[in-house]
Amino acid sequence: MIKAIVRVGLCLVLSSGVALAQAPTPTPTPAPAPDPKKPPPTKTDEKAGKDESLQHSSTGERPWAAGVTPEKQRAALKKFQEGNQQLNDGLFPAAVKLYREALKDWEHPAIYYNLALALLNLDQPIEVYESLQKAIKYGAAPLEKDKFDHAKEYLLLVEKQIATVDISCSKPGAKISVDGKEVFTVSEDGTKGHYVGRVKIGKHTFVAEKPGYNAQVDAPFIGPGETYRLELTLYTAEELTRYKRRWEAKWMPYAVIGGGVVLGLAGALLHVSATSSYEDYDAAVAKCNADSMSMGCANDGAVADMRKSGDTKTTMGYIGYGVAGAALVTGAILLYLNRSQSYQITADDYRKELREKEQPAVSVSPVIAPEYAGAALVGSF
- Burial environment of residue 313 by CB neighbours within 10 A (0 to 12, 13 to 18, 19 or more): buried
Report d(CA 110, CA 117) in Å as an integer: 11
pTM: 0.52
Position 370 scores a pLDDT of 53
Nearest-5° angle of CA 223, CA 228, CA 234?
A: 140
pLDDT in tens, 218-234: 888 999 989 999 888 87
Predicted confidence (pLDDT) at residue 18 exceeds the cutoff of 80: no
User: In the structure, what pLDDT confidence band is assigned to residue 195 with cuts at 50, 70 and 90?
Assistant: very high
Q: pLDDT tier at 348 (50, 70, 90 boundaries)?
A: confident
Could you tell me which residues come within 8 angstroms of residue 365 by beta carbon, excluding any fewer than 6 positions away? Answer: 375, 376, 378
Q: Cα separations (Å) of 140 from 32, 44, 143, 186? A: 17, 20, 5, 40
pLDDT band at 310 (very low <50, low <70, confident <90, very high): confident
Q: pLDDT tens for residues 60-91?
A: 478 999 999 999 999 999 999 999 999 999 99
pLDDT computed for residue 152 by the predictor = 92
Q: How far apart are CA 168 and CA 196, in angstroms?
A: 9
With CA atoms as reference, report the closest residue to 179 among 210, 160, 201, 212.
Answer: 201
Residue 373, SS3 per DSSP: strand
Give the span between the Cα atoms of 245 and 350, in whole angstroms: 20
Rounded CA gap, 133 and 122, in Å? 18
* Region for 202 from its dihedrals, namely left if φ exceeds 0, alpha if ψ lies in -120 to 50, beta otherwise: left
Higher-scoring residue by pLDDT: 107, 282: 107
Element (H, E) at 354: helix 347-358
- What is the arrangement of strands in the sheet containing 162-169, beginning at the earlier edge strand? 193-200, 162-169, 227-232
Assign 365 to helix, strand or coil: strand
Which of 76, 91, 21, 17 is CA-nearest to residue 49?
21
CB atoms under 10 Å from CB of 173, counted, come to 14
Higher pLDDT, 297 or 53: 297
Calpha distance 201→125 (Å, rounded): 10
* 361 confidence band (pLDDT: 50, 70, 90): low
For residues 37 and 39, what is the distance between their CA atoms, to the nearest angstrom? 7
State the burial class of residue 78 (Cβ atoms within 10 Å of its Cβ: 0-12, 13-18, 19+): middle
